[in-house]
Structure 1
Amino acid sequence: MDTSFAFLPNHQQFDLLDSCYGLLLCRLYNVSAEVGKCHYVVCNPATEKWVLLPDSGQDSVNACLGFNPALSSHFHVFELVEEQDNYISGVAVYSSETGVWVYKENRWNKRVMLIELQPSFVFLNGYLHFQVDGHDFSRYLAVVDTDGETWMNFSVPGGLLNGFIQHSQGRLHYANFQRDEHGGVFRLVVYVLENYQSKEWTLKHSVETSYILGRTDYCIDGFDWIAIHPECNLIFFTIGQELKLMCYNMDRRQLKVICNLEGVTPPYLSYVPLYAELEALHI
C-alpha cells in the first residue's frame, strides 16, 4: 500500500480526517487554487481509487466519514456546521449514492458544541455518534442519522468527562477513568450501550489503574486513547514521553507494549484494508 498517497491528484498538502471500514476521508489542498481552498476526497488506499466531493457550501472544520460495506457500497460524509459561538447549528450530509449534500438544522433538544479535546466520531447502525458539551455544562453523546431525520442525545456513563467512544463487536463502547465511590481508587472503566431506547449503559469492564499503569491516577504524560478493537476486547492507547503504543487485553487483564510512536503526531486513525471495488470511487 502506498502510504504517500501519491495516487491522489496533484497537491501540496492533505489532511487525514477520518477512517471507516477501509475508506479514508481527506481534506485536499489544491496547489493551483486560491489560498485556503480545499476539497474533500474519499479514497481507498488498498485499491488506490478515490473520488473528489463537490463543495458543500458550508464553512466547517469538522468532518467525518460514515461507511459499512456489510450494509451498503455507498458512503456518507458528515459536516458539523458551527455558529460563531461554537454551538452546532446543523449537519450537512453527503451521500455517494445521490452525489449531493443535504443540510439539516439542529434538531437536538438542546444547544451543543463539540468537546475541546480531539473529538472522536463513530459511525454505527447508520448513525453518527460524537461527544458534545451542552449549554448546561454537562457532557452528552449526540447522534444523527444519514438522512438527517433522526436526532438523539443522551448522557454519557456516570457524567464522566473526556471519555473515548468506539464501536466494538457491533455495539457502542465508552472508555474512561473513574474514581470509586470512596474517592481513593481510580479505575479504567468500559461501558456498553445496550439499546437506544432506554439510553442505558452497562459496565463491561473495570480495573484499577495501579494494576495496569503502576500508579493510582491517570495523569500521565503522553496518554491518549487510540482505539478499541472492532472484534476483540482490546484497548489501544499511548503513554509516556516516548509515546509508547500499548495494548490492554480486558479478558486477560494484561498490558503489552507494541512500539514507540515518538515523532508521530495525532490524530491516530485505525485502519483495516478493504480490497473490494466500489462504484462510488473512481479515478
Structure 2
Amino acid sequence: MIECMKSLKKMSLSEDMLIEIFARLPAKSLHRLKCVSKEWHNLISRGVLSRKILPPLLSGLFYQNLEQSGYASVSNSKVVNSGDMDTSLSFLPCHQKFRIANCCNGLLLGWMRDYHVIPKLRHYIVCNPATKKCVSLYKVDRIHYVAGLVYDPRISNHFKVVRFLGSSRGASFVDLDIFSSETGKWVESTVSLRSEGTLLFGGQAVYSNGALHVLFYLFDVLRFDIKEESCELIELPEAANRVTFGCIGECGGCLHYADFNAYRMEIWALRDYQSNEWELKHCIRMQDLVKQLPEPDWPDWRCFHLIAFHPDTEVLFLQMKGKILSYHLNSSKLENFWTTTQTNAALKFFTCPFSPSIDKFSL
C-alpha cells in the first residue's frame, strides 16, 4: 500500500486531486499514509480533510455502573492518547448525576438523573469532552426504549438526537422524537413496520452508514434511516437456541452482531446493506475462550456479557463480574482490559467506545 502511494506521489498530483483520492480510503490507511512525506502528513492532518474524512482512533471506553451514579474513562495504552480530554466530565453542571446514554464520533449523549427541577421534562445533554462544550435539551418525559445520537463531521457539524418510543397504534408502529441542532427543535414522528415486535429497553443505538440501529427483541435489528426518516427491520442471522440478547456495533465501517450460547460465540458482519445479508466472520468455542482465564475465575458461560465492538480493529469487549475483557478476534486472545475495585460480583456496566473529536459542533 505504502509503496503504491509513493509511486503516486511521484506523479505530482494537485492537492485537490490528492484530497479526492484520500477521501476514498479507510481511516487506518490514511493514518499510515502520514508517513510517506511531510507534505502528505500536513494535508491529512489539517483542516477540512482531517474533519471530513479522518475520524479519530478509539481512545478507550466510557463506562458507567448501572447500579451507581459514578463514571470514568477507561484508557487503553495501545491506542491514541486522549490528551487533555476531560474524562471526568467535571465541566458539566451537576456532573455527578449525568448518565451516559449514547456516543457518536466524539460526542456524548446523556441525561441528568435529577430532572424534576423542571416538572415533566427530561434534561438531556450533548457534550464534547475534548472541547468541554455542551448543550442542554429538554423534552417532555415519556417512556422510551432507546435514545440515540447522530453526529457525522464528514457531512455536517450539526447533530441529531432520536428517542425510540412505543406506539399507541400497535406493535407494528414506532413513535420517534427527533431533535436537530440545526433547527433547535424537537419533532415528533411515527413510522410503520412490516412486522410486529418490541424494542429492547435500555438497548444501545449504533450509528452506521447513515442510519441508527437498535436491537429489536431477539431476532431483528431496527434500522432508522436518518435522511429519509424511515424504518426497516433487518433479520438477524439464525442462531440455534438463542437465549441471550446479543450485541451490535460498528467495526471496520460496517455493522457487526455478536451472540453466544453455552457452546460457541458467533460474530457476523452486515456486508450488503441492500440485501441485508450477514456474513459469518468468526465462530469461537466458549470452552476455548473460558480456558484463557485463570482457573479460579473459570465462569459459567452465563457470566459473560457482550458490551461493545472496537470501531477500528477486530476487538470485542465483554464484561465478566467486575472485569471488562477485550477479545481479539484475529488472534483469539482474551485480555483483561480493566478491573473494578468494587466488590459486587454482579457489577454491570454501560459502555461506549469513544473517540475524542476536536470538531466544534454547532450549539
Task: Tell me the TM-score range normalised by the shorter chain.
Answer: 0.7 to 0.9
Tell me by how many angstroms 1:6 deviates: 2.8
Q: Which amino acid aligns with 2:269?
A: V
Distance 1:37 1:29 in 2: 12
Aligned equivalent of 1:173, options 235, 240, 256: 256
Tell me by how many angstroms 1:44 deviates: 0.4
1:94 is aligned to 179
Does residue 71 of the first structure (1) align with residue 155 of the second (2)? yes
- Secondary structure, in 3 states, of the residue corresponding to 1:110? coil
Structure 1 unmatched ranges of 5 or more: 180-185
- Secondary structure, in 3 states, of the residue corresponding to 1:167? strand
Tell me if structure 2 keeps the 8 A contact 1:22–1:271.
Answer: yes
1:1-283 equivalent positions in 2, closer than 5 A: 1-9=85-93, 13-28=97-112, 33-34=117-118, 37-55=121-139, 57=140, 59-61=142-144, 62-83=146-167, 87=171, 89-115=174-200, 118-133=202-217, 139-147=219-227, 149-159=229-239, 160=242, 161-178=244-261, 186-214=263-291, 219-220=300-301, 222-239=303-320, 241=321, 243-263=322-342, 265-278=348-361, 280-281=362-363
Tell me if structure 1 keeps the 8 A contact 2:319–2:348.
Answer: no
Distance 2:261 2:301 in 1: 15
Q: Which amino acid aligns with 1:192?
A: A
Tell me by how many angstroms 1:71 deviates: 2.7
Structure 2 unmatched ranges of 5 or more: 1-84, 293-297
Distance 1:45 1:96 in 2: 18
Tell me by how many angstroms 1:37 deviates: 4.1
Tell me by how many angstroms 1:222 deviates: 4.2
- Secondary structure, in 3 states, of the residue corresponding to 1:103? strand
Q: Which amino acid aligns with 2:186?
A: W
Tell me by how many angstroms 1:14 deviates: 2.3
Tell me if structure 2 keeps the 8 A contact 1:86–1:113.
Answer: no
- Secondary structure, in 3 states, of the residue corresponding to 1:157? coil
Aligned length: 265
Tell me if structure 2 keeps the 8 A contact 1:235–1:248.
Answer: yes
- Secondary structure, in 3 states, of the residue corresponding to 1:115? coil
Distance 2:207 2:155 in 1: 12
**Percentage identity across paired residues of the two chains:** 29
Distance 1:31 1:78 in 2: 19
Tell me by how many angstroms 1:110 deviates: 2.1
Distance 1:178 1:223 in 2: 10
Tell me by how many angstroms 1:275 deviates: 1.8
Tell me by how many angstroms 1:93 deviates: 1.4
Tell me by how many angstroms 1:214 deviates: 2.4
Query: What whole-Å deviation, never above 9, does each CA across 1:20-70 have from its counterpart, x for those lacking one?
Result: 111001112567824664311100011100111243x46144312112222
Distance 2:302 2:264 in 1: 18
Distance 1:271 1:39 in 2: 22
In the superposition, the TM-score normalised over structure 2's length comes to 0.66
- Secondary structure, in 3 states, of the residue corresponding to 1:112? coil
Query: What whole-Å deviation, never above 9, does each CA across 1:234-256 have from its counterpart, x for those lacking one?
Result: 111112x3x22211111111111
In the superposition, the TM-score normalised over structure 1's length comes to 0.82
- Secondary structure, in 3 states, of the residue corresponding to 2:287? helix
More strand, by proportion: 1
- Secondary structure, in 3 states, of the residue corresponding to 1:211? helix
Distance 1:81 1:25 in 2: 17
Tell me by how many angstroms 1:13 deviates: 2.2
More helix, by proportion: 2
Distance 1:262 1:155 in 2: 39
Tell me by how many angstroms 1:156 deviates: 0.6
Query: What whole-Å deviation, never above 9, does each CA across 1:178-232 have from its counterpart, x for those lacking one?
Result: 57xxxxxx121110111222111100111211111129x9844642222211111
